[in-house]
Structures are given as C-alpha cells and as structure tokens.
Structure 1
C-alpha cells in the first residue's frame, strides 16, 4: 500500500481526533521530549489514539487491525528502518485543519503586535485589509518559517486556515480574523 492510501486509511480511523487529543497522547509517550516515539511505545500510542476518539472503546480496533495500521504507517514513513516516528510525520493522520492546529500548538506561534503588523503589512500590499489566497500562502510561510513547509503542505494549511476563518467563503481573510487566530502579545 502506498503512503497516501495508508494515511487515508488512518484518517478514517481517527477522523474525530482533535489536535488537543493527539498532543495529549503524544506527550504521554514522548516523555523525554526527543520528538520520536519508538519500538513498543508505538503500539501503545496507537491504542491510546483509538481510545481517545469520542465514544470509542478499546475494542474499536482489533489487535490485528492495529498492527496492520502501524505496519502501513511505518512502511510509509520509516524510510531508514530505524523503528521510530516523529510527531510531524504521525500527525498526518489528522484532518488538515487539526494537523495545522497541532503545528501551531507545538511551536511558538505567539507574535508580538509589532511582528504581526509588520508581517501583515508585508502581505497586504494594497492595504485593503484583506489577504487573498496567494498572499496567505506567503504569510503562512513567514509565520511558520521554522517548519520549512513544502508546497503540498503549504496548500493544505492555507486551505485549512481559509476553512476555519473565511466566514463568507471569498478566499481572503480580514486582518481582524487573523489577529484573533494567532496569539498576539500586546
């Protein structure tokens, strides 16, 4: 099974998982904070992800099914065969919006008002109070610069942010919407 099929199968299993649920479960197993879950911890991690789903029980996925999901995911992501997976890789099981939220939660996404204003002015060149889709991609690239996003991931995060904030579906965001989304330090 290819990487996309494995991820899609896992997304179906965890479609109700929030970034918060994922992060809590991740932190339980990455106690040393090295950014990886390895070996037998991976099985326990996935089992907890299954039980963290709203209304699910441990019987929601048989041991055989659980092992198959883990195998598919490891086949898709563990290229060097070292038996460990990083948080960003494993977070691919989440919906794009939740994956994006997790990325923001796990990095220092707080900006000072001055930093936010400077970034906003850079991308709202015409000062019309909106950032369109193309400008939003550049904006996110700047805000999430430490993540070094590839084009496909940037597309997902842009679409996720528009889905979360673009209330009139005009494919652009107002300054106030963005300001509410990011934690702005006064």
Structure 2
C-alpha cells in the first residue's frame, strides 16, 4: 500500500470527514508495520519512530496541520505522550503489540496482541509450545499457528465471531509479522514475541550478583521452576529455565534482539546436563542449580570487571 501524494503513509487510513482513523484490518496493520519497521528488526525505533510520530500527527488533515508547521518541540512532546501511554516495557521503542494498541485495529485481530493476561512463566510457555508443536518439528508451522490463534480467540470467547477465512488471514498476517527470518514458520524466539511471559525470573537483580545471592535466594528461584514441587527441575520446567537462561545470556549481544530456536535450547540443555547434572538423572536438583547460578554469576561478574 502506497503513501498519499504528499508522502504521508498514515493519512490514507483517516476518514476525510471526521479525520478519525478508520478501523484498520489485519492486512493493513501488517502494511503499516512493515512500512515503519523499515530495517525489519522487530521494533519501530530511532528515526523510524520519529517518522511514525511525525506522520501520525500530520496525518490529521494536510490543510490544518502541514509538515512545515509541526515544530520539533511539538513532535518531542507527542513522542513522550505516546511512549508514556503505549510503551509498556519502557524501552523507548514500539513493538508490534504496542502498535496494535495505538491504532484502531480490527477488534478480533487486536485480541491476539492483548497482554492483559501474560503467561506466568517460561515453564508455562514451554507447555503451550509443546501442545501446539504437534509434529514435534521444533517449529510452529502455519497450520499449528492457526490452531493456536483459534485457541486464543476461544479463550476470549470470540471463536464463533470470526469466519474460517478471517482466521486464515489472521494466521498469514501473524506469520508475516513475527517470522523474522522468513522461513514460513515460527521458532522459539519468534513465538515468544507473540506469546510473552510475565517475567523472566532470572532477570531479577538478586540473581545477577554472586556476592548478594544467598541460599534462600537460590531456594526461591528453584521453587519458581520446580512447579510440581517434586524436588527436581525437569521436562518443561527445565526447558523453561533454559529459555530464560538463553534470553539472559543473549540479552544485549545482538542489536536486533534475541533469536534462538529449539535446536539452540537442546544444545544448551546438553551442555548444562553434561557439566552440572552430577547424578546423571537428566534433571536439575537444588545443589545442581546452585552450581549453575553461581557459575553464571561468577562469569557475569568477571565480564563486568573486564569492561571496567
């Protein structure tokens, strides 16, 4: 979809009479996203964000608000207002879910991006992943994604309000929005963008400092992953722990975010169990988790010292 004659991409979605945004369909939302996320890194940020905000303000009416009359001060104020209202994680960028809150997106499609009830943990995420990766390929393919989206809408009591054709459109649109490497399926890190968790437990400050970590701290984090309370972190509990650990280790290493798939997770599991599973039972007990966390914190502290 092309921009209007004056170059403002968003004006085409305004009602000429009311100057309000018309309801944006799933396909139109995808067009808007790809237009402003010009480098494809999964965020509208920096110059992209400036361009989006400028066109958002000046798309109201070209006779009333021209490009030349919008001051830098006004744009800065608009940016602060929008980020304060919609930048939920306060990272100074707009992601796909946040854009869906800014624009008047088609209601059923918008529900796929609601974050009112995120998953409690990465353990729960891995259980959902395993449920919908029905062929155990290590990816969520188009038919599996369609079943997942149908499940989401059913949870929100909207399953009967959309047609199969709409669901197919939603599936294709979501796949194009989140499939960053364009292989036609979602890997773990891509699905994690669509289905966020409430918290990565390993990002709590206490677990990033070996000097401050106590036995009680380690017992607390053990309990967060040992969801069934059987004294071991195993199966999807272990996969959830590894997902959090990979995100923690990879955080900040790549400018375009954290990319990993199930092969990476399995490789991480193999290394972890080889080095830390002292009784070779394929699980992690409290003593073994203590060794993992202390080892990570020690290496993190050494890295910080090297920077200094």
TM-score scaled to structure 2, two decimals? 0.31
Relative contact order (C-alpha < 8 Å, sep 6+): which is higher? 1
- Of the two, which has the highest radius of gyration? 2
Bigger fraction of residues in strand: 1
More helix by share: 1
